[in-house]
Amino acid sequence: MAHSRIKHILQAGQPDDPVTIQGWVRTQRQAKRFSFVEVNDGSSMAGLQVVVDGTLPDYEAKIKRLSTGASVEVSGTLVESPGKGQRVELKASDFQVVGESDAETYPLQKKRHSFEFLRTIGHLRARTNTLGAVMRVRHACAMAIHQFFQSRDFLWIHTPILTASDAEGAGEMFTVTRFGLDQLPLDPAGKVDYGQDFFGKPAYLTVSGQLEAEIMALAFTNVYTFGPTFRAENSNTSRHLAEFWMVEPEMAFCNLEGNMDLAEAFLKFVFGQVMEQCADDIVFFNQRIDSSVLATATNIIDSEFERLSYTDAIALLEKADRSFDFPVSWGLDLQSEHERYLAEDYFKKPVIVTDYPAEIKAFYMRQNDGEPDDRKTVAAMDVLAPKVGEIIGGSQREERLDVLEARIEAAGLPKEDYWWYLDLRRYGTVPHAGFGLGFERLVQFITGMTNIRDVIPFPRTPDNVEF
């Protein structure tokens, strides 16, 4: 057998199979004439136990002194394992130390480290059980997302990271500059002239690919984006990143109800896939991180999401049998504590809140028709998850040219910047809708991890741009 990944050996390896593995030492135990070395290559939570006989070359000089973190390549044959918890182990016939690791200074010790500490060693934390499990689940989520949209004939489109328009109209964009720090152009008053930054024009990092996704949906009907987005909001919370990944489906000929149906089917599918593909990792999260992880997953897959209007949600919150830190009243945005109360305490499952006041939502959301009261609201939807709060934000889009122009003006946005967006309402406009899923919030939701910094390989927050 050529080089094998440990996951496959643990699943399917048989006694007498010849194998070669490569990986990093997790633990090392010495017996009299041999030692046990646990090697992990990141393919699964469990490593493979290697039995190294004291007669092997280099045993005294190298192998016996091996310590956690060293990289090794081992060949041998599988034997039945007398130990508990594993079917097979590897009896080494050749054991190469590829890179040593100094036990005195290696920051990862056998004990449990706090996540705060692990964030200070971003270059090594991927070798821990928890971060390993997170990254495998993250990968499985990403693949499941593509699979879901592919099976429904959605076209995956790539939207730009550099952009001139503020897709959310919330003024949370990072400015891009082509100049070195000491070469920033100054205006006559001596202030940095950001207007010059992108070859004479201003440019920003995108906050959402939605507006471009709308362009593509009006040609390909059903599309989705999956890429990095940036928010220059200075919020140091366990749910916010300055750089996060977003999944944004956009559908032509679709209304808010179709949008909600898609969001619900989407979350159910992704949870189902991850439960299947990362069963061991999920059991680990349930045991070590949050004992409701498995129950939550079953709940998502089996129960219908609750759907209610913002107006009804406010009425429920006003009657709640507990007090909140932030005020509740019609017209105010829901805070995380309100979202969690609805999903976690009241309904005990994901909740889709719809029809928010226009005042607190983005300019592109479709104004509701009908009674004068309805016209104060827009066809928005937020999916709220227990523990996490808002995981998805979406809406039906305003497809009527005159209404959209009025909203852009009322929001104080520069209409000329959106000329192409308005053009889409001039030429073959259709009702259309879509949503954005915060990818890291999904991974948080599935794993039960409490801090968003621990579900992305290299978190970008106001306090960290290094690792």
Judged by CB under 6 A, the residue of 248, 344, 398, 399 near ligand 4AD is 248
Judged by CB under 6 A, the residue of 47, 69, 394, 459 near ligand 4AD is 394
Beta bridge partners, 259, equal none
Nearer to ligand 4AD, 276 or 359 (CB): 359
Going residue by residue from 64 to 103, which x/- string records binding to Mg ion, judged by CB under 5 A?
----------------------------------------
CB of 390 to Mg ion, least distance (A): 6
What DSSP element (H or E) covers 113? none
117-125, 185-193, 227-235, 385-393 -> range binding Mg ion (CB under 5 A): 385-393
What DSSP element (H or E) covers 137? helix 129-151
91-99, 149-157, 277-285, 386-394 -> range binding ligand 4AD (CB under 6 A): 386-394
SS (H, E, C) 188-199: CCCCECHHHCEC
C-alpha dist (Å) from residue 382 to 37, 52, 230, 308, 450? 49, 56, 20, 10, 21
Contact 144, 439 (CB under 8 A): no
168 binds, among ligand 4AD, Mg ion, none (CB under 5 to 8 A by kind): ligand 4AD
CA-wise closest residue to 69 among 90, 47, 85: 47
Give alpha helix (H) positions in 254-303. Answer: 256-277, 279-288, 293-302
155-156 and 306-309: which strand pairing?
A: unpaired
Report the alpha-carbon distance of residue 225 to residue 364 in Å, rounded.
18
The separation between CA 168 and the C-alpha centre of its own chain, rounded to angstroms, equals 20
Closest residue to ligand 4AD, based on beta-carbon distance? 438
351-357 and 306-309: which strand pairing?
A: parallel
Report the alpha-carbon distance of residue 88 to residue 117 in Å, rounded.
34
φ and ψ at residue 445, rounded to 5 degrees? -60, -45
Judged by CB under 6 A, the residue of 89, 166, 390, 454 near ligand 4AD is 390
> Does residue number 438 form part of the binding site for Mg ion (CB under 5 A)?
no
76-84, 188-196, 322-330, 434-442 -> range binding ligand 4AD (CB under 6 A): 434-442
CB of 397 to ligand 4AD, least distance (A): 8
CB of 259 to ligand 4AD, least distance (A): 9
Looking at residues 196 to 235 of the shown chain, list those that interact with ligand 4AD (rule: CB under 6 A): 208, 210, 231, 233
C-alpha dist (Å) from residue 69 to 38, 41, 110, 192, 361? 11, 11, 11, 47, 49
Judged by CB under 5 A, the residue of 23, 389, 393, 394 near Mg ion is 393
How many residues form the binding site for Mg ion (CB under 5 A)? 1
How crowded is residue 356: how many other Cβ atoms within 10 Å of its Cβ?
A: 25
How many residues form the binding site for ligand 4AD (CB under 6 A)? 23
Report the alpha-carbon distance of residue 341 to residue 320 in Å, rounded.
9
> Does residue number 389 form part of the binding site for ligand 4AD (CB under 6 A)?
no
CA-wise closest residue to 137 among 273, 278, 246: 278
Looking at residues 294 to 353 of the shown chain, list those that interact with ligand 4AD (rule: CB under 6 A): none
47-55, 214-222, 349-357, 390-398 -> range binding Mg ion (CB under 5 A): 390-398
19-27, 136-144, 388-396, 459-467 -> range binding Mg ion (CB under 5 A): 388-396
Q: What is the separation, in whole angstroms, between the first and last Cα of the chain?
A: 37
CB of 233 to ligand 4AD, least distance (A): 6
281 binds, among ligand 4AD, Mg ion, none (CB under 5 to 8 A by kind): none
Which two structure tokens, joined as six digits, stand for 14? 């048989």
94-102, 137-145, 244-252, 306-314 -> range binding ligand 4AD (CB under 6 A): 244-252
Report the alpha-carbon distance of residue 251 to residue 149 in Å, rounded.
12
Nearer to ligand 4AD, 38 or 339 (CB): 339
Which two structure tokens, joined as six digits, stand for 454? 């621990």
> Does residue number 169 form part of the binding site for Mg ion (CB under 5 A)?
no
Contact 133, 447 (CB under 8 A): yes
Nearer to ligand 4AD, 52 or 267 (CB): 267
Judged by CB under 6 A, the residue of 10, 88, 145, 167 near ligand 4AD is 167
> Does residue number 244 form part of the binding site for ligand 4AD (CB under 6 A)?
yes
How crowded is residue 228: how many other Cβ atoms within 10 Å of its Cβ?
A: 15
Number of residues that make up the chain: 467
> Does residue number 241 form part of the binding site for ligand 4AD (CB under 6 A)?
yes
Judged by CB under 6 A, the residue of 69, 438, 448, 459 near ligand 4AD is 438
Beta bridge partners, 79, equal 89
Contact 33, 53 (CB under 8 A): yes
Q: Which residues bind ligand 4AD (CB under 6 A)?
A: 167-168, 208, 210, 231, 233, 240-241, 244, 246, 248, 390-395, 434-436, 438, 440-441
Q: Which residues bind Mg ion (CB under 5 A)?
A: 393
